[in-house]
């Protein structure tokens, strides 16, 4: 399977490999679509339905509250019902909360405990959407699964993950840990579409999600007060905020609530003799429970290189042990030119052509070359 899809025009750009070069090749194929209750998955289901596929909507419950109730996000589920009803397709709900707790949330908490800043959305894709979700879809007899991710897929000798036409919405960063074999028999119908056109198409076909805002917040935990939420699982220990000279300039509520480069929520007012710049987080000293801050332009946050964990390669490894490519160390970032060395143990040493600001352990370094996401690795150490 391959490429950038344009079902609305009745054809597939960059053919789907084994599926064929025309959307009619999907006619009669059973495709299970991961329905989130948002406009993207809604339009993905619409496009596949228009292509003549037998479409089934599947909504995932990935979180249980302490009182035993499942946090299904009632509004999202209602929207799934509305969209599937409009498209005249069957829909189901499946509970993956146990898998989410064990394989995503517990890792999420461990990372915060050791002072790192994790990205649960990346783990959710690897551990839920492209594992138990895909297996469940296969039990339903699916020929393919599909999601509303903005990215593409190409079948070479193995599936390759491609960047989306809408660069501002490209979501390959969040898929960097998905295993290559998990991308077999996967479709991304929005690969060639821009977000504004997705909304226009949803409105044209009367889908209730046409004007629904994009969700924010932690993956499947939702838009809630994160500080209050996290305090229910990890004990917070307040402590001193000090500047680089060691001077106490305030108090923090718990190191887990802060991340490198953070400027808001520090609670530090103007201090006599200091520059009239905003304070920002430079370091989290776990040993002494001290939050280290600075006031200025952020020079202390600049770094030239990093060391990562084991590199998850997506697709064929048709590159050497040393090569140049684009690298992202956060989602909302253009690719940064860098030289990469793959060590014998599979870890990476990445050196950037230009210094980077606030590269953070626990996040991901994701590699790109010629419109392809090569995969990624967890950032372990940053060299400043």
* Catalytic choice (84, 151, 219, 373): 219
d(CA 18, CA 24): 13
d(CA 195, CA 164): 11
Q: Which residues of 282-321 are buried (b: 16+ CB within 10 A; e: fewer)?
A: bbbeeeeebbbbbbeebebbebbbbbbbebbbbbeeeeee
124 tagged catalytic: yes
Q: Are 258 and 252 in contact (CB under 8 A)?
A: yes
Q: Phi, psi at residue 200, to the nearest 5°? A: -60, -45
- The values of phi and psi at residue 74, to 5°, are -55, -40
Tokens of 330: 């956060």
Is-contact 222 73, C-beta < 8 A? yes
Marked catalytic residue, from 84, 124, 151, 373: 124
Please give the C-alpha separations between residue 33 and each of 53, 59, 126, 220, in angstroms, as whole numbers.
Answer: 11, 9, 17, 17
Task: Mark whether 373 is an active-site residue.
Answer: no
Please, are residues 210 and 39 in contact by the beta-carbon 8 Å criterion?
A: yes
Residues labelled catalytic: 124, 219
């Amino acid at each position: 399977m391959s490429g950038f899809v344009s079902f609305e025009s009745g054809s597939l750009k960059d053919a789907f490999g084994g599926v064929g070069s025309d959307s009619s090749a999907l006619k009669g194929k059973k495709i299970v679509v991961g329905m989130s209750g948002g406009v993207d998955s809604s339009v993905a289901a619409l496009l596949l339905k228009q292509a003549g596929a037998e479409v089934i909507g599947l909504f995932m419950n990935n979180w249980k509250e302490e009182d035993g109730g499942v946090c299904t996000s009632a509004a999202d589920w209602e929207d799934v019902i509305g969209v599937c009803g409009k498209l005249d397709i069957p829909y189901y709900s499946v509970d993956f909360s146990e898998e989410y707790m064990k394989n995503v949330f517990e890792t999420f908490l461990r990372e915060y405990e050791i002072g790192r800043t994790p990205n649960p959305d990346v783990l959710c894709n690897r551990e839920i959407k492209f594992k138990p979700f895909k297996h469940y879809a296969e039990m339903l007899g699916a020929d393919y699964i599909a999601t509303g991710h903005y990215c593409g897929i190409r079948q070479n000798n193995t599936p390759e993950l491609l960047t989306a036409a809408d660069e501002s919405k490209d979501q390959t960063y969040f898929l960097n840990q998905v295993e290559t074999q998990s991308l077999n028999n996967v479709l991304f119908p929005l690969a060639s579409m821009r977000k504004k056109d997705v909304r226009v198409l949803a409105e044209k076909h009367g889908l209730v999600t046409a004007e629904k805002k994009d969700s924010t917040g932690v993956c499947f935990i939702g838009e809630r007060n994160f500080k209050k939420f996290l305090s229910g699982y990890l004990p917070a220990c307040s402590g001193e905020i000090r500047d680089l000279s060691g001077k106490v300039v305030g108090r923090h509520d718990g190191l887990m609530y802060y991340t490198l480069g953070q400027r808001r929520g520090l609670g530090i007012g103007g201090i006599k003799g200091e520059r009239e710049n905003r304070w920002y987080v430079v370091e989290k000293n776990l040993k002494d429970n001290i939050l280290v801050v600075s006031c200025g332009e952020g020079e202390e946050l600049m770094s030239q290189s990093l060391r990562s964990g084991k590199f998850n390669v997506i697709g064929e490894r048709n590159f050497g042990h040393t090569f140049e490519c684009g690298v992202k160390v956060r989602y909302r970032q253009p690719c940064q030119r860098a030289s990469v060395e793959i060590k014998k143990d599979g870890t990476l040493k990445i050196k950037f052509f230009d210094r980077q600001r606030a590269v953070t352990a626990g996040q991901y370094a994701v590699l790109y070359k010629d419109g392809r996401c090569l995969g990624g690795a967890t950032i372990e150490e940053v060299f400043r």
